[in-house]
Structure 1
Amino acid sequence: MNRRWFLGAAALSFATGAAWWGRDWLPLRGLRNLCLAPALPDRLAEHPLVRDVLLGLDPAKLWDCHVHLLGTGDSDPAKVWVNPALDSVWHPSQFLQKRLYSNAACVDDSVGGDASFLERLASLTAPHSGMHLMLLAFDYNHGLDGRRRPELSTFFVANEYTRSVAARRANWEWICSVHPYRDDALEALEWAAANGARAVKWLPPAMGMDPASPRCDRFYQTLQRLKLPLLTHAGHELAAEGGGHQDYGDPRRLRRPLEHGVRVIVAHCASLGESADSGEGGGVSRGLRNFQAFLAMMREPAHEKLLFGDLSAVTQINRAPEALQTLLLAEDLHHRLLNGSDYPLTGIVPLFSLYQLQRLGLLEARTAQVIAEIQHHNPLLFDLVLKRNLLWKGHRFPRQVFETADFFLSNDHHG
């Protein structure tokens, strides 16, 4: 056998095998959001998948609990700030990240990034529809000394700005973000609660707070008194690099706020990565999947009324294989799952593999084709139609998963 032919055949075989192994990751639908008009063309608007997406649901109770309020910081860095590293080619992953997010949100820098983000977001939902978006503020990374650390922060969105934006539309709510190590943390919490915040947003691996630290106890006591839920990321973090404390994403660190009676919403159901776990005898460590740790905690009787999960990002290509089938079958947990989109990430086209969902048996091919088209028009509608049509062994996500308003309105501190 000719040696050159053999090496060529081997290389082709390897490439074919790699393509098959990574087939879900092939960008079959392209890399860019085409940013088409949010108003769907008639053939899509009148399709049963779209026409019937709200069938059996109360639109006024559809509160998307995970919508990022982003921008470029061009209007006022005190309101929105983005780390300069995201505009530096010397930080290629962050440079690419910003462009993916900007394209996902259809940001037009020529008219101002902050204004363009809001204009596009406003066009995706009609105020009269009753559907609400819950906009997330995002605090800086802070050190143990309580000082903000911009150099370790990916971006910042001020509470005051988020509140003012939410006030512009009847169907926008807001979620504050307060780092517990701040000297003024309790004061900031009080202000946020008095000004309509529905919850508190944390991203521990990026922001640098340890949910299991005793430093957070007074913060948790205040949360419990104010009846503010804690919406906190758990699992491995990829979207915001921050301080690099991946261990802070271990869902078991959330036992501390639960012990203080805080209602905790675990973003993404901790559906990525693993955390160290003590093995039998001698403290040997092994990996424990964060998603499995989350499920185990959800099924502890003491957490029945305190621990919840949000469905943001669970349909993404890197999360779906582990999370979706299990969550669809977990009927005992459905009443404690809250839908969120993770917008604008729902607009990043290659982050979702509809082929993968078909291969996993969760989505029909003809359904996938329609949903794929919707993404380029309206990523929020894309998220809703996709999740409403997931099916595994006869199981779907039920009505209460999407009707999240009751959760945020219960024990309402707004008076």
Structure 2
Amino acid sequence: MKRRSFLLGLGAVGAAAWAGSRWWPDGEWRNPCLPGLPQALAEHPLVRAAWDGLDPTQVWDMHVHVAGTGTGDSGSGMRVNPTMDSLAHPILYTQKRVFMDAACASGDSGVDAAYLDRLLHLATAFPPGVKFMLYAMEQFHDDGGHAHDVHTGIHVPNAYVRTLAQTYPQRFEWVASIHPYRADAIARLEQAIRDGARAVKWLPSAMGIHPASAQCDAFYAALKRHDLPLIVHTGTELSVNSEGHSQDHNNPLHLRRPLAAGVRVVAAHCASLGQDRDWDAGDQAGKVSSFTLFTRLMNEPVGVKLYGDLSAIPQFHRYRILPTLLENAGWQARLLNASDYPLPGILPIYLLKELVRAGLLKADEAEVLHAIRRHNPLLFDFVMKRSLTWNGKQFDARCFETRAFFDRTTGVST
């Protein structure tokens, strides 16, 4: 197989891994998309405890994806690569349907509208003031700054997520996605800032961006000038089509360049998956875990402006770094909570049983979390992370009160 895929992970889990699991009913591989949270769950002590010590008006989930097909009358402009609708590409074909199932994106109103309706419905389980930061996704561009649809897995235009944030300001903020090689990259950035963008998001392997390239320097200078954060995927990418693209672009060490330029950088997922070449050991260096490189960078003087987001980390192929994150008191102010929605709606990738075995969750907590997940994956992700414990340590409230990092009107966490 020429490329790794998120769905390979699903296949690796297999029915045998779930046999006998108390938190995984037989046959329930799909998101049941159950409506509203029952009162018994909404008022459960575990849910109430999750809000202890938090100001909901400061809680922003900083990593939420918007997806759809762009068909019908939504006017979204979203586009997915045609290979994801072709049985000639079975992994991509299945992958798209898994994501849409996770988001309950089906129905007579069309995929785009169903995706949005479900997200808005899930948000009602959160107190007023809690917001969700919606991500745009730029197309793949070559070194000359030219877009290529054939190499683009999914395209979510800035205009669409901007419109959603402006239409539902009580729940949504938005994050722009701008390719730095574009001739008009700076102009687009400045327009996005005027339109209220809270950050810029890159997925280097899927977008064709080398973060250590000098081609990015002018963009970094503009980000620094406007004090706008840059969110960069780090570690192996499995969810978006990266066929023919370089996974090395996701190496955390490449972030030294924007950090040296004074940019506040968020390493998405804390580089919690895969291996990257340790360029510090020379051109012939071998690979080490991507998280090892993220850790090195966090502890360097240049890394003082480096942050990590907690999205996807409790998944079965990432959770082993959780003890390190929970124990490191010095990092708590630099870890930002995020769900990576709709991924929490893909039930097989969160092995609550394994989190219990690892000593990160209690068995009775896992029972409640599984029940919440069937109704509201967004709330499940939040309550789960508030419940994680290692040697008596939990994620600090600062990890969840992320608004100050992105809202320049409230100040910046440093």
- Letter matched to residue 262 of structure 2: G
Shift of 1:84: 1.1
- Letter matched to residue 358 of structure 1: V
Shift of 1:123: 0.8
Shift of 1:23: 3.5
Aligned partner of 1:61 in structure 2 is 58
- C-alpha separation in 2, matches of 1:214 and 1:396: 40
Over 3 Å counting, the alpha-carbon distance change for 1:49 and 1:78 in structure 2 is closer
- Letter matched to residue 64 of structure 2: V
Partner SS for 1:124: helix
- C-alpha separation in 1, matches of 2:160 and 2:228: 19
- C-alpha separation in 2, matches of 1:128 and 1:275: 40
Over 3 Å counting, the alpha-carbon distance change for 1:279 and 1:96 in structure 2 is same
Partner SS for 1:332: helix
- Letter matched to residue 180 of structure 1: P
Aligned partner of 1:11 in structure 2 is none
Contact kept, 8 Å, 1:24 with 1:355, in 2: the verdict is no
Partner SS for 2:147: coil
- C-alpha separation in 2, matches of 1:254 and 1:238: 20
- C-alpha separation in 2, matches of 1:105 and 1:194: 30
Contact kept, 8 Å, 1:268 with 1:311, in 2: the verdict is yes
Contact kept, 8 Å, 2:260 with 2:302, in 1: the verdict is no
Aligned partner of 1:207 in structure 2 is 207
CA-to-aligned-CA distance 1:144-187 (integer Å, 9 cap, x gap): 12111111111001111110011111221000000111121111
Aligned partner of 2:307 in structure 1 is 308
- C-alpha separation in 1, matches of 2:306 and 2:41: 38
Aligned partner of 2:248 in structure 1 is 247
Shift of 1:195: 0.4
TM-score, normalisation: structure 1: 0.90
Shift of 1:375: 1.0
Partner SS for 2:286: strand
- Letter matched to residue 211 of structure 1: P
**What aligned pairs does 1:160-309 form with structure 2 within 5 A after superposition?**
160-169=159-168, 170-242=170-242, 243-278=244-279, 283-304=283-304, 306-309=305-308
Over 3 Å counting, the alpha-carbon distance change for 1:25 and 1:197 in structure 2 is farther
| Residue 121 of structure 2 corresponds to residue 120 of structure 1 | no
Q: Tell me the C-alpha RMSD between the 2 structures.
A: 2.2
Shift of 1:24: 7.1
| Residue 340 of structure 2 corresponds to residue 319 of structure 1 | no
Gaps spanning 5+ residues in structure 1: where? 1-17
CA-to-aligned-CA distance 1:310-365 (integer Å, 9 cap, x gap): 000001111112x1111111111011000000000110000110011011110111
Partner SS for 2:329: coil
Shift of 1:59: 0.3
Contact kept, 8 Å, 1:279 with 1:286, in 2: the verdict is no
Which one of the candidate residues 41, 45, 48 is aligned to 1:48?
A: 45
**What aligned pairs does 1:3-152 form with structure 2 within 5 A after superposition?**
23=17, 28-29=24-25, 30-37=28-35, 39-75=36-72, 79-126=77-124, 129-152=128-151
Shift of 1:287: 1.4
Shift of 1:283: 4.8
Contact kept, 8 Å, 1:227 with 1:412, in 2: the verdict is no
Contact kept, 8 Å, 2:269 with 2:308, in 1: the verdict is yes
Shift of 1:110: 2.5
**What aligned pairs does 1:377-388 form with structure 2 within 5 A after superposition?**
377-388=375-386
TM-score, normalisation: structure 2: 0.90
Contact kept, 8 Å, 1:147 with 1:182, in 2: the verdict is yes
Report which stretch shifted further, 170-179 or 108-117: 108-117
CA-to-aligned-CA distance 1:88-129 (integer Å, 9 cap, x gap): 111111111111111110011422110111111111113861
Contact kept, 8 Å, 2:404 with 2:410, in 1: the verdict is no
Count residues in correspondence: 392
**What aligned pairs does 1:349-360 form with structure 2 within 5 A after superposition?**
349-360=347-358
Over 3 Å counting, the alpha-carbon distance change for 1:278 and 1:59 in structure 2 is closer
Report which stretch shifted further, 73-82 or 148-157: 73-82
Shift of 1:303: 2.3
- Letter matched to residue 40 of structure 1: L
Paired-residue identity, %: 46
Partner SS for 1:247: helix
- Letter matched to residue 220 of structure 2: Y
CA-to-aligned-CA distance 1:56-102 (integer Å, 9 cap, x gap): 10000000000001112114676211111111111111111111111
Report which stretch shifted further, 292-301 or 190-199: 292-301
Partner SS for 2:123: coil
Shift of 1:46: 2.4
CA-to-aligned-CA distance 1:263-313 (integer Å, 9 cap, x gap): 000000011111112586x85422121101111111113322x11000000
CA-to-aligned-CA distance 1:5-35 (integer Å, 9 cap, x gap): xxxxxxxxxxxxx999x84799844310000
Partner SS for 1:387: helix
- Letter matched to residue 261 of structure 1: G
Partner SS for 2:51: coil
- C-alpha separation in 2, matches of 1:77 and 1:204: 27
Shift of 1:55: 1.3
Contact kept, 8 Å, 2:270 with 2:310, in 1: the verdict is yes
Gaps spanning 5+ residues in structure 2: where? 1-11
Partner SS for 1:129: coil
